Structure 1
Amino acid sequence: MTVVTTRHPAAALWDMDGTLVDTEPYWMAAEEELVGSFGGTWTHEDALQLVGSGLWESAKIFQDLGVELDADAIVAWLTERVRQQLHEFGVPWRPGARELLLALREASVPTALVTMSVRAMADDVIKEIPFHAFDAIVTGDSVTNPKPHPEPYLTAAGELGVDIADCVAFEDSPTGVASAAAAGAITVGIPNIVSLDGSPASVLWSSLDGRTVADVAALTESRKATA
């Protein structure tokens, strides 16, 4: 009898905003409030351009629009405003994300959070997860080069002690997909508020709802077969 086995990824690497939790509307509201407080105008289209970007890089755009604060102050203000919304309205989980994360943990797949939010914001989300969710945490204030640079994902793989080529990354933004793909991870794009058409994602899934460990393992097997 032939026994068919599936090879789990060396690790699962998770983006946070827009992938694990649907906090992009919180960020957009904070951005509009910040620019408006200095007499400027911030549109939905403006906000879409920043989805997945590093906070300090985004700060330069706000300064160009008349926000008279230094970059650190802008990052701190936006982060605190989003954290306030998390506390007021709760953590809006993306469909199927927490369930797949738990299933991967139960299958003993190492996991890392790879987010361009700062550590304090990441901790707010992590503490709402009712199980030990991540073996490593990489945040925007812990890397030199933010997404779309590959550094965040390479850092996560390094902290886990695994080969990035054997990891599966979950991302919702073009910037995040570019980062994970450039690092060499198998990259699952889950479009949220921006299109991932034409992105370097290994595969696009419309949702994580109903996705299983077997689905993730199949991606690893597919790369192994084509290597």
Structure 2
Amino acid sequence: MNPHASDPAAVLWDMDGTLIDSEPYWIAAEKALATRFGVDWTDEDGLELVGQALPYSAAVLASRGVDLPEVEIIEFLLSSVAADVTERVPWQEDARALLTEVVSAGIPCALVTMSYARLAAAFQARAPEAFQVVVSGDEVERGKPDPEAYLLAASRLGVEIDRCVAIEDSRAGVRSAVASGARTLAVRRLTPVERIEGVSRVRSFEGVDLGTIREIAAGRVIDELDDIDD
């Protein structure tokens, strides 16, 4: 299908939390590793790491008492979560429906994740036609909230970042998308979504469709969270 004249140049998707409900996998892996070293690690601790680059998460775990080199912490987390995702991809069904609609309209899509290539590939294998470009956390020098990953995705797609819509769920991810210059849509998942000028915020993707994406690309700002996340 040929893209509509009002379509964004591309839609850039975060993975963990936004497209798949994998954050519980990450938190479970963090807890398992922390337990090995007698470190208390709660769900709240895990939520603090949502959307962060893996080296950052590894450094936090190490600072709390996980006595391993950061590269080994990252390897443990990746191996655990990749095995879980390979066994079962926990789709966020509202995001899956929106992704299907965007892809069916012929709009280029990129996956922009702080997970490393191994995990991104495990997910992409379940949606092989969806993403023309994948940018993973091990391909960038500066992870989210730095804009590098989003700028790299737009560059690889050959489009201007300010004509793209980025879809995120975490504080770090939203800040990364905004800093890149992309129009940004934030969905409320496990953590609050802060109010940032120009960022659209929704409770879920129920009721969000291709028309909504086109409006956001054109500059409309939607905010469904002004009563709960400020």
Indicate whether the TM-score tops 0.5. Answer: yes
Checking the alignment, whether the CA contact within 8 Å between 1:188 and 1:201 is kept in structure 2 is no
State the match for 2:12 in structure 1. 13
| Deviation, structure 1 residue 6 | 5.8
What corresponds to 1:83 in structure 2? 82
Deviates more, 1:173-182 or 1:200-209: 200-209
Q: Which moved more, 1:97-106 or 1:140-149?
A: 97-106
Q: Aligned AA for 1:174?
A: R
How far off its partner does 1:167 sit?
Answer: 0.4
Match for 2:77: what amino acid? L
Superposed displacement of residue 189, structure 1: 0.4
Structure 1: distance between partners of 2:76 and 2:107: 36
| Larger RCO (CA within 8 A; separation ≥ 6) | 1
- Structure 1 runs not aligned, ≥5 long: none
Distance apart, 1:86 and its partner CA: 2.2
Number of residue pairs the alignment of both structures matches: 217
Aligned residue for 1:66? 65
The 5 Å alignment of 1:89-128 reads 90-128=88-126
Q: Does 1:198 align with 2:195?
A: yes
Deviation per residue, 1:162-206 (Å, 9 max, x gap): 111110000000010000000011110001000003345610111
- Does residue 34 (structure 1) correspond to residue 33 (structure 2)? The answer is yes
CA distance in 2, matches of 1:38, 1:222: 49
Letter in 1 for 2:115: S
Alignment of 1:75-224 (within 5 A): 75-88=74-87, 90-129=88-127, 131-199=128-196, 202-222=199-219
- TM-score normalised to structure 2 length: 0.90
TM-score, scaled relative to structure 1: 0.91
Secondary structure in 1 matching 2:159: coil
Q: Which residue of 1 aligns with 2:225?
A: none
Instruction: Give yes or no for contact 2:55–2:74 (8 Å, CA) kept in 1.
Output: yes
Moved over 4 A (4+): none
